[in-house]
């Protein structure tokens, strides 16, 4: 009985620590929690809708930042490749140009780690943009 209680206490502590770490992870805790809920919930359809909504929100956010960072007259294929390369430099994640393109156009169901890598690129662009604005 003592082992069970200790195990439960440890699980609660670990869960709390994981939550703290995730909240520092680019502010996308909601997406993370929804992703976990999507896999563990008995009402798969309701949590799936929430997850889809969060994914769509992240896609729209990415599109806004991508479009605002794309150079005038730049070929979209080249822009997708540039973003792919920047994501790899930033996160170490191996990501294909087609993956970035599919995310942009809302095709497919990307893995959580891919979404997080893409959103880290978004954060880096927004952070750099805010530094540029403060320098003026």
Asked if the model's pLDDT at residue 94 lies above 60, the reply is yes
Instruction: Using alpha carbons, list the distances in angstroms from residue 59 to 10, 40, 70, 82, 124.
Output: 36, 24, 16, 18, 16
34's CB contacts (< 8 A; 6+ apart) are: 47, 50, 51, 54
Please give the mean pLDDT across all residues of the chain.
77
pLDDT in tens, 97-135: 999 999 999 999 899 999 999 999 999 998 876 655 555
Distance separating alpha carbons of residues 8 and 98, to the nearest angstrom: 44
pTM of the prediction?
Answer: 0.59
Instruction: Evaluate if residue 16 carries a pLDDT over 60.
Output: yes
- What Rg, from alpha-carbon coordinates, does the chain have? 18
Question: Distance between CA atoms of 18 and 72, rounded to whole angstroms?
Answer: 42
C-alpha 110/C-alpha 68 separation (Å) is 23
Task: Using alpha carbons, select from 129, 134, 121 the residue that is nearest to residue 61.
Answer: 121
| Predicted confidence (pLDDT) per residue in 71-83, tens digit | 888 899 999 999 9
Rounded mean pLDDT, 18-39 = 52
């Amino acid at each position: 009985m003592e082992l069970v209680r200790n195990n439960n206490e440890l699980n609660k502590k670990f869960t709390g620590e994981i939550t703290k770490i995730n909240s520092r992870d680019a502010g996308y805790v909601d997406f993370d929690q929804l992703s976990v809920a999507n896999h563990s919930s008995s009402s798969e359809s309701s949590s799936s809708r929430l997850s889809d909504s969060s994914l769509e929100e992240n896609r729209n956010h990415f599109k806004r930042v991508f479009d605002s960072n794309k150079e005038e007259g730049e070929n979209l294929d080249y822009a997708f490749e540039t973003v792919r390369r920047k994501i790899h430099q930033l996160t170490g994640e191996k990501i294909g140009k087609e993956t970035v393109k599919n995310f942009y156009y809302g095709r497919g169901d990307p893995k959580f780690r891919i979404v997080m890598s893409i959103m880290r690129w978004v954060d880096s662009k927004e952070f750099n943009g805010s530094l540029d604005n403060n320098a003026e």
